[in-house]
Amino acid sequence: MIKELEGEVVSALLDLGDIEYLHGEDTPTVGPQQFRGIELNSHAADISELVLWLAYLQSHYTINGRVPPSEPIIPEDHVIERRDAILDYDVTAESPYRNPRPAAPWPKAGFIVGNPPFARTNKLRSLFGDEYFDGLHSAYQDTNSP
């Protein structure tokens, strides 16, 4: 939908006689680099980036015809960070959640779409396991433990 909006803006610019837009080397365009995400599961992050890549290419060619998009489509540093969104920790042989602490800051965003686990507070321990749940409360001590 954002790529379609870009097409409407380009059409309006052309209607107003701004043909430089089409020939500028530094012309800004909408692409996957404007989308950010955080996903712990590497496989899910890879699928998310693939979906962004395919949707971008499909909309790009629909709007721009045969004009190829700039490369790379997905930057090498990824648009989906592969990490836990709320908790950082050290993984050791003794414990997968040693030294729990609040997660690194999230990328800057104009808006956030999330898919959190929709569980009641009294179900979180059984959903995440004792060590992760205790790590959350250690890292975020201002929360109440059920």
What pLDDT is recorded for position 146?
47
CB contact at 8 A, 49 and 32:
yes
The whole-number pLDDT of residue 73 equals: 77
Tokens of 124: 């979180």
Question: pTM here?
Answer: 0.71
Q: How open is the CA angle 98-132-48, to the nearest 5 degrees?
A: 105
- Mean pLDDT calculated for residue range 120-126: 76
Cα separation, 40 vs 46, in Å, equals 11
Name beta bridge partners: 87: 102
Q: What pLDDT digit, counting tens, does each position of 73-94 carry?
A: 777 777 889 999 889 999 899 8
From the list 140, 131, 145, the residue with the least C-alpha distance to 86 is: 140
CA separation for the pair 28, 72 (Å, rounded): 14
38/22: higher pLDDT: 38
